[in-house]
Amino acid sequence: MKEQFNLIATAAAGLEAIVGRELKDLGYQTQVENGRVRFTGKAEDIIKTNLWLRAADRIKIVVGEFPAHTFEELFQGVFGLDWENYLPLGAKFPIAKAKCVKSKLHNEPSVQAISKKAVVKKLQKHFHRPEGVPLQEVGAEFKIEVSILKDRATVMIDTTGSSLFKRGYRTEKGGAPIKENMAAAILMLSNWYPDKPLIDPTCGSGTFCIEAAMIGQKRAPGLYREFAYEAWPWMANDLIAKARQEAKDSIDETVVLDISGYDIDGRMIEIAKKNAEKAGLKNVIEFKQMRLQDLKTDKINGVIISNPPYGERLLDDKAVDILYNEMGKTFRPLKTWSKFILTSDEGFETKYQQVADKKRKLYNGTLKVDLYQFFGERVKRHA
Ligand code: SAH
């Protein structure tokens, strides 16, 4: 099987640079592109990045790339790749996804069918199986993806399985949760560090607080879930076990954290507590039922991160207007605190009655949202 892999970490639009930074911190050289960050590594790097990347969506192996203007070119291109180095005899290998953008080939189901035929033919040849007799697909699954952008095909195998935002700790999520990897990315974008107080005054299922505590305690986000590669025969079990053990050993429960989550809805507070416990963070975060209008603190230099209700989601427009206005009145007196507020409401600054120091466009799923950033006074002076 393969020694060295060309790899891609996929990321939501706007989060590529964050994923790039995470990969660099893990020791990789990277190339940041739209929606993806490229790097290379061995089997253990597939394991490590799946376990440790907080903001990425998936890790994929790039099997090959080639021009594909016609179905013939696509077939020959896929056939020409070294599938025998990835797919053991008996493996399941669905062409799980085909995507065509700005390309002559645009019929995605046909791209899937042609690609499948090409892989089958290659494996039949390699394993000396007669043509016409279908290969048995009974073993581990390797999900293949074909993406054609401007007539160039990239053929990949997904190593992750269900997306990396699914950490496994959030069993209940309430009405409008933020994705775990988006929450982690926003924390990494913010000026919060584990030695600063953090408050999420609209914490819902507790995602921001839990992700922050995981960062603070150096908990690998993937420790409580499984990955597609774990079923692959050529992924050595001892490598997987070693990486998991290292991740467990890295947890530091002695770090002093000051993380609080509040919500007006007592049921959400119960859910947040359960999720935190599931993430191994029992009694690490303070969760309490409280209206954000009642938020007061004497602490300084903290960070508020909030993903309040948006009009389209939870509250009617009038109620949102009032809520955002009250947020401004409540948060503004906390002068040394930085505030990061994520909402799709383009009138946010007017309602909050303050122009943000910085705005950043992000996508919460398919919904365009902005991260409004207000920096605390001390931070501003030193900047
Ligand atoms: N980020 C959260 C989702 C937040 S949804 C998660 O990942 O689950 C917005 C939350 O704001 C809801 O849970 C809602 O109950 C809460 N909320 C609405 N009005 C509030 C108020 N006045 N004070 C505090 N919380 C409020």
Ligand 1 pocket (Cβ < 6 Å) reads 173-174, 176-178, 201-202, 204-205, 207, 263-265, 268, 291-293, 307-309, 323
Ligand 1 mean position, distance from CA 201 (Å): 7
Sequence-separated (6 or more) residues with CB below 8 Å from residue 164 = 50, 53, 56, 57, 58, 59, 181, 221, 222
Dig out the tokens for 104 from the structure. 């002559």
Strand duo 31-33 + 5-10: pairing: unpaired
As a whole number, mean pLDDT of residues 345-368 equals 93
CA atoms within 13 A on the CB side of 22: 30
Alpha-carbon distance of 304 to 281, in angstroms, equals 20
pLDDT in the model for residue 208: 98
Q: Is residue 368 a contact partner of residue 361, using CB atoms and an 8 Å limit?
A: yes
- C-beta of residue 207 within 8 angstroms of C-beta of residue 170: yes
> What is the Cα–Cα distance from 356 to 374, expressed in whole angstroms?
5
Q: Which two three-digit tokens encode residue 185? A: 């990315």
pLDDT tens readout for residues 187-236: 999 999 999 999 999 999 999 999 999 999 999 999 989 999 999 999 99
Distance between Cα 113 and ligand 1 center (Å): 45
- pTM for this entry: 0.94
Q: What pLDDT is stored for residue 133 in this prediction?
A: 82
Helix (H, G, I), strand (E, B) or coil at 370: strand
pLDDT of residue 311: 67
- Residue of the nearest CA to atom 16 in ligand 1? 202
Q: Is it the case that residue 379 has pLDDT exceeding 70?
A: no
Percentages of the chain per state (helix, strand, coil), in multiples of 5: 35, 20, 45
Mutate to test the pocket of ligand 1, among 169, 264, 274, 371 (most ligand atoms within 8 A of CB): 264
Q: How far is the CA of 11 from the centre of ligand 1 (A)?
A: 26
Average pLDDT in the chain: 94
Would you state the structure tokens that stand for residue 189, as one six-digit string? 């974008």
Distances (CA, A) of 85 to 76, 131, 179: 18, 20, 35
Domain 180-221+252-374 has CATH 3.40.50.150: yes
Q: If phi over 0 gives left and psi between -120 and 50 gives alpha, with beta otherwise, what is residue 287?
A: beta
Strands 36-41 and 31-33, sheet pairing: antiparallel
Pocket residue to mutate for ligand 1, from 263, 285, 318, 326, most atoms within 8 A of Cβ: 263
| Look-up of token digits 């669905």 | 94
Q: Which of 179, 268, 318 to mutate to test the pocket of ligand 1 (most atoms within 8 A of CB)?
A: 268
Tell me the residue type at 7.
L
Rounded CA separation 199/196 (Å): 10
Predicted pLDDT of residue 383: 47
Q: Do the Cβ atoms of 6 and 31 come closer than 8 Å?
A: no
Band (pLDDT 50/70/90 cuts) for residue 312 is low
What is the pLDDT at residue 315? Answer: 59
- Residue-level pLDDT at 272: 96
Per-residue pLDDT of 189-198, as tens digits, reads 999 999 999 9
- How far is 201 from 327, CA to CA, in rounded Å? 10
Q: How does strand 259-263 pair with strand 31-33?
A: unpaired
Residues 6+ apart with CB under 8 A from 21: 188
Q: What angle do CA 56, 214, 171 make, to 5 degrees?
A: 80
Judged on CB neighbours under 10 Å (0-12, 13-18, 19+), 194 is: middle
- Does the domain made of 5-158 have the CATH classification 3.30.470.20? no
User: Percent of the chain beyond pLDDT 70?
Assistant: 97
DSSP 41-110: E-HHHHHHHHHH-SS-SEEEEEEEEEE-SSHHHHHHHHHTS-GGGT--TT-B--EEEEEEESSS---HHH
Measured CA to CA, the distance from residue 51 to residue 229 in angstroms comes to 12
Amino acid identity for residue 122 in this structure: K
| Residue boundaries of the structural domains of the chain | 5-158, 180-221+252-374
Residue 250 and residue 183 in contact, taking contact as beta carbons nearer than 8 Å: no
Q: How confident is the model at residue 289 (pLDDT cuts 50, 70, 90)?
A: very high
Average pLDDT of the residues in 283-312:
94
Q: Per-residue pLDDT tens for 170-192?
A: 887 777 789 999 999 999 999 99
63 falls in which pLDDT band (50, 70, 90)? Answer: very high
Most confident of 107-111, 309-313, 315-319: 107-111
Q: How far is the CA of 264 from the centre of ligand 1 (A)?
A: 7
